[in-house]
Structure 1
Amino acid sequence: MLTFGEQRSAQQKDESSSYLRAEQVLEAARQATRLKAMDIKGLSLRTRTEISEPYPEDFLRSYPQFRNQRNQMITDGELSISFPDKIRQRMEMTFVSNQQVLERVLNGDRYAQRSEIYVDGKPLNFTANNLIQKSEQEKIADFKNSAFLMIFPITLEYSWYAPLRFKYVGVAEAKEGRADVIETALPNGSTYRLFFDQKTHLLLLMSEMSKDGREAERRYFFSDYRNVDGLLIAHKVTVEKGKEVVGERQIKSVQINPTFKPDHYLVKGKSN
């Protein structure tokens, strides 16, 4: 696992040069992964994510009996996107004895989601009153957010998501080498730092920063780059929280510019 030391701050003449330098880092990464030679209109991914981490403190305050246990989950996911505004996702999340199936689809400004929960293999009846209520716009924002964090490390493209601005932070060093560090804030207020290898220009690490910007809440390490129809894609993402590895995501398959059925992004019925 890469361990980067403190970032050496960049000496920029002004803020605009910081933004320009960040775009140069992204452009070099697009060249390295051969994105510049491709016209990507859509993607389809199949993934498996395994997570094992302590329960958060706010949960443990209500359920102290879980303090000595870990939150373990396996998620098999399918995500497809047709730029700029069509996204479909299906996730099967397996806990110890429970399973949740979540389907979400966004087509322009139309959105729907369906969720089913099973306990010991039997469906659990629940109503929206049991859940934290969110507006339609909040649900769409959450969905686009999660899709962005999956798609951006592959395409390094964000115009479909939000008008982001990246700034150059500086250079980080590890025994394996040096990385250029850029930073951006997402619409939900989360700040991410991205580390690109100075030699290969590939994305090595993406860290979610704490609210005060002093430390990383989670780190996502990208490895196992493979050629998929001419595009270099990291097929393994290792998740670290604190100094502990808490999960891993494997890309099982990728399709670039796939052909979808006419009803693939059809929004049916109401959300639950």
Structure 2
Amino acid sequence: MQDIADYLGDSLGLSQKASELDAEVIVFCGVDFMAESAAILCPEKTVLLPQLCAQCPMAAMITPDKLRSLKAKHPDAAVVCYVNTSASVKAESDICCTSSNVINVVNSVDSDEIIFVPDKNLALYAAAHSDKTIIPFDGYCPTHHQILESDMLLAKEKHPEAEVLVHPECRPEVIALADHVFSTDGMVKYVKSTTHDEFIVATENGLVYRLNRENPGKIFYLASGNIVCPAMKMISLQDIVDALEKNQYVVSVPEEIRVRAKKALDAMISVGRNG
């Protein structure tokens, strides 16, 4: 999939790229919320999701009703929502964040109390770098959450010279063992810029494929077995052919939802991204 793509990147970066392109049709090879974000930012384009079953389990953990219930319990709190959420949840939020800019976004919010959805691990990571009171929703990325402290200790024992790169969706005890905490794009940039040539990588295995391809001569070890996101692996080459030939499946966001969700995304973009 990566080999035939025109552009590689994280969910927001690809959505922003889609809005900059002259192309009228965007085939988004990712999960549902990613394609929705592209549709939110560029409503004049046709956004296709090649496989309808490619649904992010973490995004599905938080619903608009659950978020409204949290807001009712904490009426003075601002709502920060991870981009790994549905358009309807973004529409109920004050500002979005990515794994790369979460600290900047949280600290930019004009409220001492913040509801953070849906990733509790990312919420705890942000709380460790902020004086704000963070109220986390009890969601998580199953792929990153499966990486355990014991896995990291074993990997470090096997590869003592390797730098440890950890995604902030991981458990706090795993993050505590990191040399560097990065988003996927942050890992890509760091590996290219450093002279170090050996790394333990605590994120989905698709990124390790990219790191190997773009950094010949450097060595990468997955932190734990085969760390796979099943949803991200659902799209096949045949799905892409079908999407292009049949113009399927078109991602649409109701305009009232799209406008409100875009406000939360625009608020984040105005804060800026931190690699």
**Fold conserved between structures, TM > 0.5:** no
TM-score normalised to the size of structure 2?
0.25
Structure having the higher helix fraction is 2
Structure having the higher strand fraction is 1
TM-score normalised to the size of structure 1?
0.25
